[in-house]
Amino acid sequence: MIRYLGARLAQAVGVLWATFTVTFVLLYVLPQDPIVTMLGARGDSSSLDPAQMAELRQVFGFDQPVPLQYLTRLAAALRGDFGLSVQTRQPVLHEIAQALPHTLALAGLALALALTAGVVIATAASYATRPWLRQVLFALPPLGVALPTFWVGLTLSQWFSFRWRLLPAFGTDGFRSLILPALTLAVPVSASLAQVLSQSLIATWRAPHIGLARSKGARRWHVLTHHVFRNSLGPALAVLGLTVGNVLAGSVVTETIFARPGLGRLVQLAVTEQDIPVVQGVAVFAAAVFVVVNLVVDLVQFVVTPQLARPGAARPVRP
Amino acid sequence: MTATLDGLELAAPPVQRRGSERPVRPAWPAPRPRRRSARPRPWSALAGAVVLAVVLTWAVAPGWFTSWDPIATSPKDKLLPPGVEHWFGTDQIGRDVFARVVYGSRTTIQATVIAVGIGLVAGSVLGAVAGFLGGRTDSVVMRCVDVLLAIPNLLLAMVVVTALGFGSLNVAVAVGLSAVASFARVMRAEVVRVRASPYVEAAFAGGERTVQVLLRHILPNSWGPVLALSALEFGGAVLAVSALSFLGYGVVPPDPEWGSLIAEGRNWLASAWWLTTLPGLVVVVVVVSANHLGRSVGRWRGERA
């Protein structure tokens, strides 16, 4: 197990390095002149005289050869320095740190909602006995996956804020303004979670040991809580690790709709303004979150499925 | 399967044996109405296919479905609610919303098809090469795929859009690139599975060349799950393309496009619900259909998609 974790750790570091490299190539090498790209979005590239361009190029380090730029930026990134934002001239890390608490609050509430809804729906769907109820419950997750996040957000704010005036549609004042964005963000996450969990629950209900427990007289509820549930968690946990990336991506749309500050809004504005350092910083940050969360998920897998810790055991499930 | 080493006989596609791998239904199933409820019936997969066919026809020939002009304005007809005349109502400058949805499908569906095409071709080639060659090539390719998976799809697409610039073609390329990883994974898994089968071994033993084995025996037997995935990815790509154009990275304003159409309705949420709700419902129906079709195809091929 220690060896497996060591390998996973090395893999995680490798993924981060590669993410940095991929985004570097895409953002700094691919565009012909990053300075023109960055200023072009605001349409003032023609108004700049060449001397100013050269000065900017020097400030951002574009006057150096690409391999040297890469090494300097990589070394800086290792210290957490992703350069300056073009719009605000603030360090990118500072921008991320400022935006992070808002997104964490949103993502935390959304994840809590999504976990609750996903687990309840999946468990109820596989536990229910009435055909129509099962049909309805099993149809919910595929529907949830297909809803465009931006449309859910707009429709929610249309009814709850504009029609019924129950909750604020914009801003960040207090918990009430967090409810609609969190609901919006929770829909796709809970749906994909419920999809996997219900499949896994169905498979476990069909396993021989469940039949044995039932034939020995255990009630269905008892079988569910003592035999089925924990055995079905593996795939759902793996998906949960993958969905954290979706929460971050979903926050882009959600924060834009509800005009909330946060990481998603930061990167949305950065792309609109072609603020390359911020885009790269957030992408690498997202990959870091993804990698860390998946490491944690793997650890939890060992707790949930003790068989995995034995030597020669299969590795945790990854869909 | 009788294992003769007659290359010709074994080179034929394998008998469908997958059905036998399915667990036998035990006599003690937990819930009464098992299986049937979770399993799509053929007619519902057909309904999904019909919806997709209609939308594809929209994209090819929008003029067949509406007589309204998607761009011409008519200020006296502004913000009319849905009715017989205007099925989806009209927007703030009197354009028919249904016409804008139908004409908008051209941009959206085009971008989606390009995106899925890029993902399908690039992902399949990568996955097939990795799975077929194995060894170091395999691990290098799959590590790259892991990296692509570590960046959330939408964020990766946004990075690509930043590099390429705005516009619906660039959005399509961005979404396509972010879909490459999942295609590569599925293709690789399938090629690895098929490569280990006896008929491939027999083809090699029969002296066929490597390329021939790949093209004649492995690829024809491993396209099923990838096909199912491309239907699923079609739904996902519709969502991603419209999300990116909702954020304003897609088409230039007067042209209709599903995501930007919904974005334009944002300012009229309180008074004109139909501007966002109805185009959104169209997106939902299309994505549900594509996903459903993908899952049905997957199950029809005997795999869980």
The distance of B34 to chain A (nearest Cα, Å) reads: 9
Nearest chain B residue to A40, by CA: B165
The residue among A114, A132, A254, A136 whose CA lies nearest residue A196 is A114
Three-state secondary-structure class, residue B90:
strand
Q: What is the DSSP letter of B218?
A: I
Domain count, chain A: 1
pLDDT in tens, A96-115: 999 999 999 999 999 999 99
Largest pairwise CA distance in chain B: 80
Mean pLDDT to the nearest integer, B132-155: 85
Contact across the interface for A291 and B263, Cβ inside 8 Å: no
Q: How high is the pLDDT of residue B125?
A: 92
Residue B44, in any domain of the structure: no
Pairs of residues, one from chain A and one from chain B, whose beta carbons lie less than 8 Å apart: 183
Contact across the interface for B26 and A246, Cβ inside 8 Å: no
**What single string gives the DSSP state of each residue in chain A?**
-HHHHHHHHHHHHHHHHHHHHHHHIIIIISSS-HHHHHHHTTT-TTTS-HHHHHHHHHHHTTTS-HHHHHHHHHHHHHTT---B-TTT-SBHHHHHHHHHHHHHHHHHHHHHHHHHHHHHHHHHHHH--SHHHHHHHHHHHHHHHHS-HHHHHHHHIIIIIIIS--S-SS--STTHHHHHHHHHHHHHHHHHHHHHHHHHHHHHHTSHHHHHHHHTT--HHHHIIIIITGGGHHHHHHHHHHHHHHHHHHHHHHHHHTT--SHHHHHHHHHHTT-HHHHHHHHHHHHHHHHHHHHHHHHHHHHH-GGGGSTTPPPPP--
Share of chain A above pLDDT 70, in %: 90
CB B258 within 8 A of CB B175: no
Q: Which of A21, A38, A137, A158 best probes binding to B when mutated, by most B CB atoms within 10 angstroms? A: A158
Q: How high is the pLDDT of residue A183?
A: 92
Nearest chain B residue to A255, by CA: B247
Mean pLDDT to the nearest integer, A261-274: 88
Contact across the interface for A210 and B30, Cβ inside 8 Å: yes
Mean pLDDT to the nearest integer, A201-212: 90
pLDDT confidence bin for A185, thresholds 50/70/90: very high
Q: How high is the pLDDT of residue B265?
A: 81
Residue A25 has pLDDT above 90, yes or no: no
Q: How high is the pLDDT of residue B25?
A: 52
Contact across the interface for B287 and A146, Cβ inside 8 Å: yes
Q: For the domain that residue B164 is a member of, what is the CATH number?
A: 1.10.3720.10
Contact across the interface for B37 and A134, Cβ inside 8 Å: yes
Q: How high is the pLDDT of residue B8?
A: 39
Residue A276, in any domain of the structure: yes
Residue B258, in any domain of the structure: yes
Residue B253 has pLDDT above 80, yes or no: no
Contact across the interface for A290 and B154, Cβ inside 8 Å: no
Q: How high is the pLDDT of residue B36?
A: 47
CB B273 within 8 A of CB A165: no
What's at A148, amino acid-wise?
Answer: P
The residue among B156, B302, B117, B281 whose CA lies nearest residue A148 is B281
Query: Which of the pair, B21 or B72, is modelled with greater confidence?
Result: B72
The distance of B79 to chain A (nearest Cα, Å) reads: 16
pLDDT confidence bin for A42, thresholds 50/70/90: low
Angle, CA of A310, A311 and A317, to the nearest 5°: 70
Q: Which of A213-222, A293-302, B35-44 has the lowest mean pLDDT?
A: B35-44
Give the Cα separation of B153 and A252 in Å (integer). 12
Q: How high is the pLDDT of residue A46?
A: 56
């979903």: which residue's tokens?
Answer: A250
CB B210 within 8 A of CB B149: no
Give the Cα separation of B277 and B272 in Å (integer). 9
Contact across the interface for B239 and A246, Cβ inside 8 Å: no
Residues of B in contact with A163 (CB under 8 A): 270
Nearest chain A residue to B146, by CA: A15
Consecutive H or E run containing B93? none
Which residues 6+ apart lie within 8 Å of B290 measured at CB? B48, B52, B231, B232, B234, B235, B238
Q: How high is the pLDDT of residue B41?
A: 62
What's at A184, amino acid-wise?
Answer: T
The residue among B202, B288, B277, B272 whose CA lies nearest residue B239 is B288
Inter-axis angle of helices A149-156 and B219-246, nearest 10: 40
Domain residues for the domain of B204 are: 90-304
Residue A218, in any domain of the structure: yes
CB-nearest partner of A287 from B150, B161, B277: B150
Residue A216 touches chain B, beta carbons under 8 Å: no
The distance of A175 to chain B (nearest Cα, Å) reads: 23
Residue B7 has pLDDT above 70, yes or no: no
pLDDT confidence bin for A318, thresholds 50/70/90: very low
Q: Which of A165-174, A257-266, A287-296, B277-286 has the lowest mean pLDDT?
A: A165-174
CB-nearest partner of B152 from A128, A199, A246: A246
The distance of A256 to chain B (nearest Cα, Å) reads: 8
CA separation, residue B104 to residues B84, B100, B232, B233, B255 (Å) = 21, 6, 21, 20, 7
Residue A22 touches chain B, beta carbons under 8 Å: yes
Cα A24 to chain center, whole Å? 21
Residue A316 has pLDDT above 60, yes or no: no
- How many C-alpha atoms does A248 have within 13 Å on its Cβ side? 30
Per the structure block, which two tokens stand in for A89?
Answer: 């001239």
CB-nearest partner of B247 from A142, A163, A256: A256
Residue B283 has pLDDT above 50, yes or no: yes
Q: How high is the pLDDT of residue B173?
A: 92
pLDDT confidence bin for B304, thresholds 50/70/90: very low
Residue A85, in any domain of the structure: no
Consecutive H or E run containing B83? none
Mean pLDDT to the nearest integer, A228-257: 84
Residues of A in contact with B291 (CB under 8 A): 142, 145-146
Contact across the interface for B33 and A134, Cβ inside 8 Å: yes
Three-state secondary-structure class, residue B96:
strand
Residues of B in contact with A143 (CB under 8 A): 284, 288
CB-nearest partner of B248 from A148, A199, A272: A272
Q: Torsion angle, CA of A216/A219/A221/A227, rounded to 10 degrees?
A: -10
pLDDT confidence bin for B305, thresholds 50/70/90: very low
Consecutive H or E run containing B141? helix B135-150
Average model confidence (pLDDT) for chain A? 83
Residues of A in contact with B25 (CB under 8 A): 206
Residue B19 has pLDDT above 70, yes or no: no
Per the structure block, which two tokens stand in for B189?
Answer: 């898994």
Residue A42, in any domain of the structure: no
- Identify the sign of the CA torsion A285, A288, A294, A295: negative
Q: How high is the pLDDT of residue B176?
A: 93
Give the Cα separation of A184 and A145 in Å (integer). 12
Mean pLDDT to the nearest integer, B25-30: 50
């957030």: which residue's tokens?
Answer: A282
Q: How high is the pLDDT of residue A69?
A: 84
Q: B223-249: buried (b, 16+ CB within 10 Å) or exposed (e) per residue?
A: bbbbebbbbbbbbbbbbbbbbbbbbbb
Residue A154 touches chain B, beta carbons under 8 Å: yes
Q: How high is the pLDDT of residue A237?
A: 82
Per the structure block, which two tokens stand in for B258?
Answer: 């599903």
- Identify the sign of the CA torsion B171, B176, B237, B110: positive
Residue A137, in any domain of the structure: yes
Contact across the interface for B151 and A155, Cβ inside 8 Å: no
Give backbone dihedrals phi and psi of B241, rounded to 5 degrees, phi first. -60, -45
Mean pLDDT to the nearest integer, A229-236: 84
Per the structure block, which two tokens stand in for B293?
Answer: 């079709």
Nearest chain B residue to A246, by CA: B152
Per the structure block, which two tokens stand in for A129?
Answer: 């006995």
CB-nearest partner of A19 from B37, B150, B158: B150
Domain residues for the domain of A254 are: 96-309
pTM of the model: 0.82
Residue A271 touches chain B, beta carbons under 8 Å: yes
Residues of B in contact with A150 (CB under 8 A): 242-243, 246, 259, 262-263
Q: For the domain that residue A206 is a member of, what is the CATH number?
A: 1.10.3720.10
Consecutive H or E run containing B92? none
Nearest chain A residue to B244, by CA: A253
Contact across the interface for A206 and B23, Cβ inside 8 Å: yes
Residue A117 has pLDDT above 90, yes or no: yes
Give the Cα separation of B283 and B292 in Å (integer). 14
Q: How high is the pLDDT of residue B34?
A: 46
Domain count, chain B: 1
Kindly provide the ipTM of the predicted complex, given to two decimals.
0.84
Angle, CA of A3, B187 and B220, to the nearest 5°: 140
Q: Which of A18-32, A47-61, A152-166, A280-294 has the lowest mean pLDDT?
A: A47-61
Give backbone dihedrals phi and psi of B90, rounded to 5 degrees, phi first. -125, 160
Residue A214, in any domain of the structure: yes
Residues of B in contact with A200 (CB under 8 A): none
Mean pLDDT to the nearest integer, B27-36: 49
pLDDT confidence bin for A61, thresholds 50/70/90: confident
Q: Which of A154, A219, A275 best probes binding to B when mutated, by most B CB atoms within 10 angstroms? A: A154
pLDDT in tens, B43-100: 778 888 898 899 888 888 887 887 777 777 777 777 778 877 777 878 877 788 888 8
Residue A12, in any domain of the structure: no
Residue A201 has pLDDT above 70, yes or no: yes
Contact across the interface for A252 and B247, Cβ inside 8 Å: yes
Q: A256-268: buried (b, 16+ CB within 10 Å) or exposed (e) per residue?
A: bbbebebbbbbbb
Q: Which of A2-16, B192-206, B232-246 has the lowest mean pLDDT?
A: A2-16
Residues of B in contact with A168 (CB under 8 A): none
Residue B26, in any domain of the structure: no
Mean pLDDT to the nearest integer, A161-173: 79
Average model confidence (pLDDT) for chain B? 80
Angle, CA of A6, A9 and A15, to the nearest 5°: 145
Per the structure block, which two tokens stand in for A94?
Answer: 């500072």
Residue A221, in any domain of the structure: yes
Give the Cα separation of A89 and B255 in Å (integer). 35
pLDDT confidence bin for A39, thresholds 50/70/90: low
Q: Which of A13, A150, A278 best probes binding to B when mutated, by most B CB atoms within 10 angstroms? A: A150
Angle, CA of A249, A255 and A260, to the nearest 5°: 145
Nearest chain A residue to B160, by CA: A26
